């Protein structure tokens, strides 16, 4: 009798999963990410379910952070050396048409000082010489990445670009110093690879080991995605997350003027948590303002911070889940299979 009940439960669960998968596939095939019904029928329900599941996990983890004798060092640092992007993505609040930031290029001495501070800390987390920008718009970027990786050899150097300014020469200069190299191809209409990216694919085919660190993603410019602190202009429906956020517990974002933003979703630098012209990275990381932000997020939730209350990014999950990697091995293989089919 017991075995029979187990078999019935197993078959029910398998049938239920198949039904859910069928419905999900139908919705995704008929309501692509760039149309409004996707936001209503797919994205919002996903957010609500994830919120319910993750809320107790995040609450527990944040309390563990705050009860440690010594608060741990950040596991990710993003250094934006130029606050400009040449992209046209509708979901981004700082695309080339909507960017309200005053132009700023990071002083080389400031950049090197930040890297020297990381070197002194024996930094082993994720090191990213970009944030809410297109890093290749800074002509010094190849030298900066090289300098940073040589100073912090045990860090995980990741590099994200939209690929429009990438060529063989820049790629070959950057790739030896990168642990993850992500090319996000933003397209309208039918997805395709630009000629310069086909050349990168060719190089990776000639050197297959590069496929373990190079990943190419195809993203519709009009896709409806996370709302980036409630600032994405192509989002209409709002769902305020009940779960909190781990990003200010794990991440530092440095703007070109040396000031630190709340998190990677603070694209315009609405909140400033410190200034590297006045204090060191370590001093700011352990400062009262950071402590207050963390305590608010832990005990009061997102609602007490203006930028956080409408944000629907589950900070600290997905590509922000680890200091040692951005994508898991199976994700590299999956993305390359898509590119290979596209090339055919």
Closest CA to 156 of 343, 321, 40: 321
Q: What is the pLDDT of residue 326?
A: 84
What is the pairing mode between strands 76-79 and 259-261? unpaired
Q: Answer for the pair 57, 233: CB distance below 8 angstroms, yes or no.
A: no
Tracing tokens 């998968």 back to the chain, one arrives at 21
Report the chain's terminal Cα–Cα distance, integer Å: 54
User: 205-235: string of b/e by CB count within 10 Å (b at 16+)?
Assistant: eeeeebbebbbbebbbbbbbbbbbbbbbebb
C-alpha 109, offset from chain centre: 27
Task: Give, in order, the Cα–Cα distances in Å from 61 to each of 75, 210, 240, 325.
Answer: 15, 35, 20, 20
Structure tokens at 89: 């993505």
| Residue 63 to residue 70: CA distance in whole angstroms | 13
User: What ranges in 129-253 are assigned the alpha helix state H?
Assistant: 141-151, 168-174, 195-206, 247-250
154 phi and psi angles, rounded to 5 deg? -95, 0
pLDDT digits (tens, 9 = 90+) for 202-218: 999 999 999 999 999 99
More confident residue, 225 or 37: 225
The conformation of residue 175, written as its DSSP 8-state character, comes to G
Task: Give, in order, the Cα–Cα distances in Å from 301 to each of 172, 213, 310, 344.
Answer: 45, 36, 12, 49
CB atoms within 10 A of CB 177: 19
Q: What is the pLDDT of residue 318?
A: 67
CB atoms within 10 A of CB 64: 11
pLDDT digits (tens, 9 = 90+) for 129-157: 999 999 999 999 999 999 999 999 999 99
Residue 13 scores a pLDDT above 90:
no
Task: Give, in order, the Cα–Cα distances in Å from 255 to each of 77, 83, 104, 132, 190.
Answer: 11, 7, 9, 9, 35
| Residue 43 to residue 225: CA distance in whole angstroms | 8
Which pTM was predicted?
A: 0.89
Residue 72: exposure state from Cβ atoms within 10 A (0-12, 13-18, ≥19) = exposed
Residue 15 scores a pLDDT above 80:
no
| Residue 257 to residue 235: CA distance in whole angstroms | 30
Closest CA to 66 of 331, 292, 307: 292
User: What's the whole-number mean pLDDT along residues 305-312?
Assistant: 95
Q: What is the pLDDT of residue 18?
A: 66
| Residue 187 to residue 61: CA distance in whole angstroms | 38
| Residue 96 to residue 34: CA distance in whole angstroms | 19
| Residue 249 to residue 297: CA distance in whole angstroms | 10
User: What's the whole-number mean pLDDT along residues 257-275?
Assistant: 97
Q: Answer for the pair 278, 247: CB distance below 8 angstroms, yes or no.
A: no
Q: What is the average pLDDT value for the chain, to the nearest integer? A: 91
């Amino acid at each position: 009798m017991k075995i029979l009940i187990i078999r019935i439960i197993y078959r029910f669960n398998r049938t239920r999963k198949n039904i859910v998968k069928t419905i999900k596939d139908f919705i995704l095939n008929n309501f692509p990410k760039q149309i409004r019904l996707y936001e209503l029928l797919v994205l919002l329900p996903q957010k609500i379910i994830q919120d319910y599941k993750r809320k107790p996990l995040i609450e527990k983890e944040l309390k563990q952070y705050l009860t440690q004798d010594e608060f741990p060092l950040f596991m990710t640092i993003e250094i934006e050396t130029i606050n400009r992007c040449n992209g046209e993505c509708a979901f981004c609040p700082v695309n080339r048409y909507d960017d309200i930031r005053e132009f700023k290029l990071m002083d080389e001495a400031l950049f090197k000082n930040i890297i020297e501070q990381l070197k002194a800390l024996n930094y082993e987390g994720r090191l990213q010489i970009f944030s809410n920008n297109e890093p290749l718009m800074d002509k010094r970027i190849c030298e900066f990445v090289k300098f940073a990786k040589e100073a912090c050899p045990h860090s995980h150097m990741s590099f994200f670009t939209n690929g429009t300014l990438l060529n063989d020469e820049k790629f070959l200069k950057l790739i030896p110093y990168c642990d993850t190299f992500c090319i996000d191809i933003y397209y309208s209409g039918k997805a395709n690879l630009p000629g310069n990216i086909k050349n990168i694919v060719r190089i990776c085919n000639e050197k297959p080991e590069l496929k373990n660190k190079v990943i190419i993603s195809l993203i519709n410019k009009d896709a409806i995605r996370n709302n980036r602190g409630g600032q994405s202009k192509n989002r209409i429906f709002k769902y305020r997350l009940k779960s909190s956020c781990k990003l200010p517990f794990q991440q530092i974002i440095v703007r070109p003027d040396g000031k630190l933003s709340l998190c990677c979703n603070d694209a315009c630098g609405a909140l400033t948590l410190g200034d590297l012209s006045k204090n060191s990275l370590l001093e700011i990381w352990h400062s009262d303002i950071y402590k207050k932000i963390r305590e608010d997020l832990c005990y009061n939730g997102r609602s007490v911070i203006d930028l956080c209350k409408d944000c629907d990014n589950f900070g600290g999950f997905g590509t922000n889940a680890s200091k040692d990697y951005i994508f898991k091995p199976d994700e590299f293989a999956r993305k390359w299979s898509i590119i290979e089919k596209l090339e055919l």
